[in-house]
Amino acid sequence: MNQLSLADYVVFLLYFVIVAGYGYYVYQKKRSVSVDYKDFFLAEGKLTWWAIGASLIASNISAEHFIAQSGSGFALGLAISTYEWMAAATLIIVAVIFIPLYLKNKIYTMPQFLSMRYNDRVSGIMAVFWLVVYIFVNLTSIIYLGAIAINAISGIKFEWCIAGLIAFSLLVTLGGMKVIAYTDVIQVVVLLCGGLITTYLALTLVAEKSGMGSNVFSGLSLLQEKAQSHFHMIFENDHPYYKDLPGLSVLIGGMWINNLNYWGCNQYIVQRALGADLKTARQGILFAAFLKLLIPVIAVLPGIAMFVLHQQGMFQTEMQNELGVLKPDHAYPTLMNLLPSGLKGVAFAALTAAVVASLAGKANSISTIFSLDVFKKYMDPNASEKKIVWIGRWAVIVSMVVAGLVAPALQTLDQAYQFIQEYVGFISPGVLAIFLMGFFWRKTTSLAALTGTLLTIPISTVLKFLPSWTNGAFPDYPFLDRMSITFVLIIIAMIVVSKWKPDPKPSVAIEIDKEMFRVSKSFVIGSVVILSILTILYWWFW
């Protein structure tokens, strides 16, 4: 039944009061007399390792996981977990290599790095790219998926769901990064608890419908028995969803480009660690890597459970849209509607926590890039810190409103998670290429970086549409493979351009000290544990 009971509203209200109250407490306690834009955007020096780790996960996990990744779990199975499990390995690389480089060179925004290493032209173009993608792909899809989920389990009109999510997110975001990060700790606890409750319901329901009683472990065994095709991490060429997850490419190809760009070159993510010291940042990132291992349990398994139940004849109408078309993204909301009164409120709060935390983090990054890399650099170089913070808050409001107006246009999507991954992937190869070349090859020129910046979208577009333009004469590569091809072509182009026309005055090289790559014994132990778990998971579910 798509409505909430009084008990559910009480639970949700309690969650709202706790988050809002704690956020206000953090804002008042840590607010300084003077307005410091670094404090507003980065919470410089004021975040603990557990706050950094929790904020990374809270900002990363959103409706695209609970709704869209669960929908992909329904459609193609456990293999979609590779986005989470490969991210855990990627975070270790980011902590060891990327973060020390940023902190050593006092980098606060990704466009700032590009400006320092190359020039303002490269920085300005990429700042615009990031703003467009963050607003029209990320922010819009988060609002859309969150709104359809809330609408499905509460009956509240879709438009009002959008308005409510935006209002709640603004309440958190306008307090700045330290409010976002510390309220994210609560958000992570709520989303994990609510997610685990929903997973427990899904597994026990599978067991009950098969006559095994309310046994969660029996339910898990039944999933593997009744949906064997949904428990393979690596797809063969003839698999119907090979184009979504093309075999070994998830281990040695495009998935690395996707993850290294997202976790290492993404203002939205990296921003959480840029205001901390190296030890604290690394501890927080490692904590986030451990949490990433748990996400498939609360996001993917419910989708597989709904697939099994649907195959047994349950939820036939609930899994369809108004035209009778099967919609995998309806799996999680349908499951949440089965929760008893009170627990449904917990799951509802968990879903809202994921959406709000992700929206707040994304909006803060939009605000940071616009305020520091567009407004201050090009519009008002002499702006005071107070004015920059004021502009930052208005950037949050405007970007949220724009995304809210665009969000309803996504209602025609089938699997929104794959839409997000594919179209963000249009710029990921180019971004990663210019960052890595900027880090590790001193001869990379500004012209080469500009070439890589301008080529990434055209190459990605041509590779996507050339098969249809040539009536199938050109191979229709999976989008992860297209990312690998684009990345290699851009690297080659940057090398050729750098050799062809060297800079008369070499670009400023990023300062590198080998000592900064040394890690503590505890970090090594934690990394070995994570990599060992990943090895076992891929071996077991190959």
The tally of domains found in the chain comes to: 1
Q: What is the mean pLDDT of the chain?
A: 81
- Do residues 64 and 409 make contact, with C-beta atoms less than 8 angstroms apart? no
CA 298 to chain centre: 16
Mean pLDDT, rounded, for 269-285: 83
- Do residues 442 and 276 make contact, with C-beta atoms less than 8 angstroms apart? no
Domain assignment present for residue 80? The answer is yes
Domain assignment present for residue 477? The answer is no
Residue 475: Cβ within 10 Å count: 10
Domain assignment present for residue 456? The answer is no
Going through 152-198 in order, the beta strands assigned E by DSSP cover none
pTM: 0.83
Q: Which domain holds residue 161?
A: 6-199+265-298+321-409
Domain assignment present for residue 271? The answer is yes
Phi, psi of 320 (to 5 degrees): -120, 155
Domain assignment present for residue 458? The answer is no
pLDDT, one tens digit per residue, over 160-217 is: 888 888 888 887 676 666 666 677 777 778 778 878 888 888 888 888 877 777 778 8
- Residue 532's pLDDT is 96
pLDDT, one tens digit per residue, over 121-154 is: 888 888 888 888 888 888 888 888 788 777 877 7
For residues 385-401, b (16+ Cβ closer than 10 Å) or e, as one string?
Answer: eebbbbbbbebbeebbe
Q: How far apart are the first and last CA of the chain?
A: 38
Helix (H), strand (E) at residue 264:
helix 254-264
Rounded Cα distance between 244 and 408, Å, is 25
Domain assignment present for residue 38? The answer is yes
Give me the CATH number covering residue 31.
1.20.1730.10
Domain assignment present for residue 148? The answer is yes
Domain assignment present for residue 430? The answer is no
